[in-house]
Amino acid sequence: MNLHWQPADWELEFSFIRAQGAGGQNVNKVSSAVHLRFDIRRSTLPPAIKERLLALSDQRITAEGVVVIKAQEHRSQEMNRADAVARLVALAQSVAHVPKARRATKPTWGSQQRRLAGKAQRAGVKAGRGKVLE
């Protein structure tokens, strides 16, 4: 399943905070870091993707089903905001891909015979390394 989804503006809740880490002239004065909150249950995502997101054991997803993403890489608020939205979309796309179910199979008769022949040959080589009897 390929997901081409962008969240609607009403689904996203932004709050701006001061970024952590080593500062310069700007860091202690400007709230450039972004907290993005996204309620999975109220969203416009397809139901199957909502279920997989809620089942995901990710520390960014709270027990109430809210995704909280903190973005503080960039110096500008707008770039951090875009980064947070991009990370939210990437998270949704990561659960959109359904892995193919694995079916248990047996080795073929020929592969079993080749394996046993190889083992017999190796056993012969090792047996030939023993002491020579007179």
Place of tokens 């012969």: 124
- Is 133 inside any structural domain? no
Number of domains the chain contains: 1
Two tokens, residue 32: 């450039």
- Is 53 inside any structural domain? yes
- Predicted model pTM: 0.66
List beta partners, residue 17.
33
| Whether the predicted pLDDT of 120 surpasses 60 | yes
Highest mean pLDDT range out of 2-6, 30-34, 37-41, 101-105?
A: 101-105
- Is 129 inside any structural domain? no
- Is 32 inside any structural domain? yes
CATH number of the domain within which 87 lies: 3.30.160.20
- Mean per-residue pLDDT, 79-85: 91
* From 11-20, 54-63, 114-123, the region with the lowest mean pLDDT: 11-20
For residues 57 and 63, give the distance between their C-alpha atoms in angstroms, rounded to a whole number: 10
> With 0-12 CB in 10 A as exposed, 13-18 as middle and 19+ as buried, what is 102?
exposed
- In this prediction, residue 29 carries a pLDDT of 67
For residues 41 and 46, give the distance between their C-alpha atoms in angstroms, rounded to a whole number: 10
- In this prediction, residue 28 carries a pLDDT of 64
